[in-house]
């Protein structure tokens, strides 16, 4: 059985820090945003962590997310609320991508999306810190992951989603024990309801980056990539960017790994991928500014990246710029075409957000931003099964004379 879920392990969190001002906050205490209204980042004594754990010891452990325990905030093993957070596979897509293109298939995680990484960590920390009730705005997948983990450890949840959130997501959230409401607005308007309830003392606010631990869970995407590539990172990462927690988290992971001496100073080019119907980060990147304005009239088939305003905008833009990458927008037709060709030719059904990364990769290749010999990782953030697929309705009558040779 999995020792990562039974062994007590040393932990190394020293404090939390405002991502804008650097102001320090105590560990092991409940926090939302910093006094400056910005995300808090968890800091570790990495020198001590490096003495407690080396790469070889890590490699001998089970490969799930909890192998990284010394780089994670949870103090007590007994608080871990696990549903089996496996290391997600890297799947080549030679026909639709190219010889050096790998899809990190995050749809294999519990509740079928990468949101499980952030939420397993945040819910575990909420449990450790005594939270009894949580609320969240969601476009679907985050709410499902929250509901699953919170119900598993007896924490109540209230979830708000835009009223055009796909039926399957809303039902999944409800089936997993949350109270879920459809709101006639976008995700930031749902977030305003959550913020108001938090101010009224009704619940703890679990919005993206408004509590400090989802980013620590998402960070494991970067840690895993390093281990899967034998401690040499890929040349480019294409990441579907809504709130951007994962991109910020991976960038943080690479820094921590370098401080541990496990990787060198090389970094992948980070490509933040958005939909052209909702591309605030792309606009800010192109305008050369540090903060993004709210995107009005946001619309795209890729609901997971329909985020008009991200509280961590400056962190996303900083990572993309430092890496030598870009923020790229792709339109819905390109997204759907990428999903289609990847399924038909490589047998891998991407979610629309995953399709967006493939479309953006092709654009980047055409524009010379990456070369065909660059090793590129595309993040498929959820199972394609949660999303609408084209109709297929060819019927045969068993009682008729069927000409099988004509099929």
Q: Which of residues 37-96 bind its own copies (CB under 8 A)?
A: 63-64, 82-84, 86-87, 89-91, 95
The span from the CA of 210 to the CA of 195, in Å, is: 10
Q: Which residues within the stretch 218-257 sit at the binding site for its own copies (CB under 8 A)?
A: 228-230
| Of 170 and 248, CB closest to its own copies | 170
CB of 78 to its own copies, least distance (A): 13
What contacts 280, CB < 8 A, 6 or more positions away?
274, 292, 293, 294, 295, 307, 308, 309, 310, 313
Q: According to CB under 8 A, which one of 160, 213, 295, 314 is a site residue for its own copies?
A: 160
C-alpha pair distances (Å), 50 with each of 45, 57, 71, 76, 362: 9, 11, 10, 20, 39
The span from the CA of 18 to the CA of 181, in Å, is: 32
| Of 150 and 275, CB closest to its own copies | 150
The span from the CA of 254 to the CA of 49, in Å, is: 15
Q: Which residues within the stretch 365-394 sit at the binding site for its own copies (CB under 8 A)?
A: 383-386, 389-394
| Of 51 and 171, CB closest to its own copies | 171
Asked whether position 397 contacts its own copies by CB under 8 A, the answer is yes
Place of tokens 């020198």: 47
**How many amino acids of this chain bind its own copies (CB under 8 A)?**
80
| Of 14 and 151, CB closest to its own copies | 151
| Of 105 and 313, CB closest to its own copies | 105
CB of 7 to its own copies, least distance (A): 15
Asked whether position 283 contacts its own copies by CB under 8 A, the answer is no
Q: According to CB under 8 A, which one of 261, 289, 344, 372 is a site residue for its own copies?
A: 344
The two tokens of residue 10 are: 């040393």
| Of 34 and 357, CB closest to its own copies | 357
What contacts 83, CB < 8 A, 6 or more positions away?
110, 111, 116, 120, 148, 149, 152
Are the beta carbons of 77 and 5 closer than 8 angstroms? yes
| Of 202 and 289, CB closest to its own copies | 202
Q: Which residues within the stretch 198-217 sit at the binding site for its own copies (CB under 8 A)?
A: 200, 202
Dihedral over Cα of 115, 119, 120, 121: its sign:
positive
| Of 25 and 229, CB closest to its own copies | 229
C-alpha pair distances (Å), 335 with each of 3, 276, 356, 360: 41, 10, 5, 9
The two tokens of residue 111 are: 């509740």
Q: Which residues within the stretch 308-337 sit at the binding site for its own copies (CB under 8 A)?
A: none
C-alpha pair distances (Å), 277 with each of 303, 306, 308: 11, 8, 10
Asked whether position 158 contacts its own copies by CB under 8 A, the answer is yes
Q: Which residues within the stretch 137-156 sit at the binding site for its own copies (CB under 8 A)?
A: 147-152
* Interaction mask 163-192, its own copies, x per CB under 8 A: x---xx-xxxxxxxx-xxxxxxx---x---
Q: Which residues within the stretch 97-116 sit at the binding site for its own copies (CB under 8 A)?
A: 105, 108, 110-112
């Amino acid at each position: 059985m999995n020792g990562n879920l039974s062994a007590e392990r040393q932990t190394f969190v020293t404090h939390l820090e405002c991502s804008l001002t650097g102001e320090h906050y105590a560990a092991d205490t409940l926090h939302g945003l910093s006094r400056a209204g910005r995300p808090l980042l968890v800091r570790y004594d990495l020198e001590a962590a490096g003495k407690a754990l080396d790469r070889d010891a890590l490699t001998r452990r089970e490969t799930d997310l909890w192998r990284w325990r010394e780089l994670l905030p949870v103090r007590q093993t007994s608080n871990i609320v696990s549903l089996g957070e496996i290391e997600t596979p890297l799947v080549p897509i030679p026909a639709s991508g190219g010889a050096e293109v790998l899809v990190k298939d995050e749809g294999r995680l519990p509740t079928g999306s990468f949101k499980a990484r952030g939420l397993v960590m945040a819910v575990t920390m909420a449990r450790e810190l005594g939270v009894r009730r949580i609320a969240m705005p969601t476009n679907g997948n985050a709410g499902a992951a929250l509901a699953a983990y919170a119900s598993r450890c007896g924490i109540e949840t209230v979830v708000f989603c835009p009223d055009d959130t796909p039926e399957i997501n809303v039902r999944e959230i409800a089936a997993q024990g949350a109270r879920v409401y459809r709101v006639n607005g976008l995700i930031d308007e749902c977030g305003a309801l959550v913020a108001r309830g938090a101010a009224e003392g009704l619940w703890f606010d679990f919005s993206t980056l408004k509590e400090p631990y989802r980013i620590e869970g998402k960070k494991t995407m970067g840690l895993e990539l390093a281990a899967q590539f034998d401690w040499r990172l890929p040349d480019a990462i294409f990441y579907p960017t809504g709130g951007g927690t994962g991109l910020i988290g991976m960038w943080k992971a690479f820094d921590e790994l370098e401080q541990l001496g496990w990787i060198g100073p090389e970094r992948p080019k980070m490509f933040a991928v958005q939909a052209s119907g909702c591309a605030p980060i792309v606009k800010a990147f192109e305008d050369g500014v540090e903060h993004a304005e709210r995107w009005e009239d946001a619309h795209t088939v890729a609901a997971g990246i329909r985020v008009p305003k991200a509280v961590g905008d400056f962190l996303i833009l900083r990572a993309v710029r430092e890496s030598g990458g870009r923020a790229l927008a792709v339109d819905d037709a390109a997204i759907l075409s990428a999903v289609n060709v990847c399924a038909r030719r490589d047998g891998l059904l991407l979610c629309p957000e995953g399709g967006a990364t493939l479309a953006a990769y092709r654009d980047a290749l055409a524009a010379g931003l990456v070369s065909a010999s660059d090793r590129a990782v595309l993040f498929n953030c959820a199972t394609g099964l949660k999303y609408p697929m084209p109709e297929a309705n060819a019927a045969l009558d068993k009682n008729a004379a069927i000409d099988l040779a004509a099929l």
